[in-house]
Amino acid sequence: MKKLAILFICTGNICRSPTAHVLLMHKARAVGFHVEVDSAAVSDEERGNPPDPRSVAEAKRRGIEMHAHSARQVRKADFERFDLIIGMTAQHCAALRRLAPAGTAHKVHLFTEFAEGVEGDVPDPWYGGQQAFVEVFDLIDLGVDGLLTRLAALATSAPAHPATR
């Protein structure tokens, strides 16, 4: 089976999506699951900026180092490169579907689809204090666990495209 490629999307690519990126990489590596992961923004306002220091601090507190990251905006080419494109909010998903080239919108999913018992959007912690980052990290951790469970099930089933299931 080919290595799955997953792209996480948030507003500026400095809080939620890079957190999901490093968490999925960390957890996938721990269980020997090979996956390509990246993150991007719907906006270009933070382009080139590193992750928010509060995200970095929360990851470090949990023993996870945030890699060298530079915020970038999602591109049409991402829809060809990635199997799953996961937005943190319904608004992100709507913007992604508008950008998606023909035949690729099915790759777009809302992050909380993977977080058991959670509905709606992953809130933006940027406007809150450190506690907001703790809470969002917990939510993203739950969603990444659910995503890994789904990916593991796909890896053992028929070789269908993961976004079509």
The residues assigned a catalytic role are 10, 16, 124
Cα gap 86→50, rounded to integer Å: 20
Nearest partner of 139 among 160, 155, 122, judged by Cα? 122
Question: DSSP letters along 88-123, please?
Answer: SSHHHHHHHHHHPPTT-GGGEEEGGGGSTT--SPPP
Tokens, residue 87: 């937005």
Kindly compute the dihedral angle of the four CA atoms of residues 138, 140, 146, 147, in this order, to the nearest 10 degrees.
Answer: -160
66 within 8 A of 91, measured Cβ to Cβ: no
